[in-house]
Amino acid sequence: MHQQLIIAPVELNLARYPKQSADELRAWNAADELLLEYAFELSTNLQHILLLNDEFGGLACALLAHPNLRHCQITWLSDSFIAQQALAQNIQANQLNGESINIISSIDVMPQADLVLMRLPKSLNYLEHQLIALQNAMDNASLLVCGVMLKGLPKSVFNLFEKHLGEVNTSLAKKKARLLFSHYQGKCSASRYPKAWTIEEYQWQLNDHANVFCFAKFDIGTRFMLKHLPRGEFASVVDLGCGNGLLGLRALELYPEASVTFADESLMALASAKNNVQLNHPEALNRCEFIHDNALEHQADNSADLVLCNPPFHQQNTISTHIARQMFRDAKRCLRSNGMLAVVANRHLSYQALLKSYFGGYKLLASNNKFVILGCTKR
Ligand code: SAM
């Protein structure tokens, strides 16, 4: 469902990706509106705008549509497959010239820009990584403007800006959003990303990028799942929503003949998973694939024997089951007949009904006081 964003002189029809029904969430928020109002005021003087973490491409589309910004270079940086797809979809829906935008990923080097427009990322580690990277993309004349929603704005955000860039000024609050302004003041920080760490239990050396789930820590749900991976012969295994790839890494050890696909919508997750295979089982790299996708949207039907999944229950800052739903639906489509989906979930999430609706039933493979592991077979 498209909804109309109007900030004079720009009018756009924007939708989230994947498209959702009419009553669901908008593709932009009040922080985006403030960022655009501010950028439009400066528009005649800008040469190069660097856009960071534009959730559904709405910021980029609005800049592309503004008549004063026709000659301004725009670089768009994101970690997210969903954001990239939303950008392409919204550019097309509004008949904008997408060729004039330079799209780069979260692991690329940031180019020099006179204005940096940032949406605050959810992860403070990723924020810190980006602020340190900006030290090479900004000079004394460039300005960083960060759009934030007041809910969930910890003091540590200000501390990170001050530590790595410089003093922070704020705009007045409007519709529960605010802008943070900061200039680069010549600081030079040593980055702690990506970070090396170990899991003694499995004798794994790991190396995680900043924007990965449970950065450099061992999630207790993942730990429980690792102890209860299904035993059997599987030719083709998928680690769905792989994060730093621990489930897939263990699959390489337990199923030495299997090909293992690591899938995630975060590029830093995939890069971490690849680091972690390289560090622990470089000999197995030729039976691994790393795919940037929304669940398994672009993967072949009837192609997997086992899908392992520790599903997220957030999209960005929104708690929701819709990603888990899509993961279960895609897993069913991608599994071969008699193939199995194994899911670890917090007890309170009650995915049982969802799994039953897609697979017709499920088995309790293991449980403790916090988690259940549910197994579903495709018939
Ligand atoms: N499998 C890892 C583990 O057990 O430690 C990570 C699990 S974490 C709870 C969920 C993962 O799903 C995150 O890495 C997140 O980036 C990924 N994710 C979120 N939405 C996704 C989507 N639409 N498609 C693919 N992956 C997604």
Question: Going along 252-319, which residue ranges are E strands?
Answer: 259-264, 288-292, 304-309, 314-315, 318-319
> Using DSSP, how many helices (H) and how many strands (E) does the chain show?
10, 20
Which tokens is 79 given? 């970690």
Rg of the chain (C-alpha set): 22
Residue in the block written with tokens 């004079």:
8
Residue 231 alpha carbon to ligand 1 centre in Å: 23
Instruction: Please count the residues of the chain.
Output: 379
Residue 80 Cβ inside 6 Å of ligand 1? The answer reads no
Residue 355 Cβ inside 6 Å of ligand 1? The answer reads no
Name which residue sits closest to atom 23 of ligand 1, judged by CA.
294
Residue 219 Cβ inside 6 Å of ligand 1? The answer reads yes
Q: What are the φ and ψ backbone dihedral angles of 364, each rounded to 5 degrees?
A: -80, 110
Residue 310 Cβ inside 6 Å of ligand 1? The answer reads yes
Domain 195-377 fold is Rossmann fold (3.40.50)
Residue 312 alpha carbon to ligand 1 centre in Å: 6
Q: What are the φ and ψ backbone dihedral angles of 21, each rounded to 5 degrees?
A: -70, 170
* Contact yes or no for 82/109 (Cβ under 8 A): no
Name which residue sits closest to atom 15 of ligand 1, judged by CA.
241
Q: Which atom of ligand 1 is the closest one to the Cα of 266?
A: 16
Residue 117 Cβ inside 6 Å of ligand 1? The answer reads no
Q: What are the φ and ψ backbone dihedral angles of 319, each rounded to 5 degrees?
A: -80, 130
pLDDT value at residue 21: 65
Residue 85 Cβ inside 6 Å of ligand 1? The answer reads no
Residue 246 Cβ inside 6 Å of ligand 1? The answer reads yes
Residue 294 Cβ inside 6 Å of ligand 1? The answer reads yes
Residue 295 alpha carbon to ligand 1 centre in Å: 9
Q: Do domains 3-182 and 195-377 have the same CATH topology?
A: yes
Residue 245 Cβ inside 6 Å of ligand 1? The answer reads no
Q: How is domain 3-182 classified at the architecture level of CATH?
A: 3-Layer(aba) Sandwich (3.40)
- Burial pattern 277-315, b for ≥16 Cβ within 10 A else e, equals beebbeebeebbebebbbbbbebeeebbbbbbbbbbbeb
Residue 241 Cβ inside 6 Å of ligand 1? The answer reads yes
**Cα–Cα distance for residue pair 142/42, rounded to 1 Å:** 12
Residue 17 Cβ inside 6 Å of ligand 1? The answer reads no
Domain ranges of the chain: 3-182, 195-377
pLDDT value at residue 95: 97
Name which residue sits closest to atom 11 of ligand 1, judged by CA.
241
Mapped onto helix, strand or coil, the DSSP state of residue 202 is: helix
**Cα–Cα distance for residue pair 184/182, rounded to 1 Å:** 7
Residue 342 Cβ inside 6 Å of ligand 1? The answer reads no
Residue 269 Cβ inside 6 Å of ligand 1? The answer reads yes
pLDDT one digit per residue (tens) for the chain, 379 residues? 779 999 999 999 999 999 876 556 899 999 999 999 999 999 888 999 999 999 999 999 999 999 999 899 999 999 999 999 999 999 999 999 999 899 999 999 999 999 999 999 999 999 999 999 999 999 989 999 999 999 979 999 999 999 999 999 999 999 999 999 999 999 999 999 999 999 999 999 999 999 999 999 999 999 999 999 999 999 999 999 999 999 999 999 999 999 999 999 999 999 999 999 999 999 999 999 999 999 999 999 999 999 999 999 766 556 678 899 999 999 999 999 999 999 999 998 879 999 999 999 999 999 999 999 999 999 9
Mutate to test the pocket of ligand 1, among 16, 123, 213, 292 (most ligand atoms within 8 A of CB): 213
Residue in the block written with tokens 């200000």:
158
Q: Which atom of ligand 1 is the closest one to the Cα of 315?
A: 20
pLDDT value at residue 319: 65
What pTM, to 2 d.p., does this model score?
0.97
Closest CA to 239 of 283, 297, 289: 289
Residue 199 Cβ inside 6 Å of ligand 1? The answer reads no
Residue 270 Cβ inside 6 Å of ligand 1? The answer reads no
pLDDT value at residue 321: 86
Name which residue sits closest to atom 6 of ligand 1, judged by CA.
243
**Cα–Cα distance for residue pair 56/52, rounded to 1 Å:** 12
pLDDT value at residue 350: 79
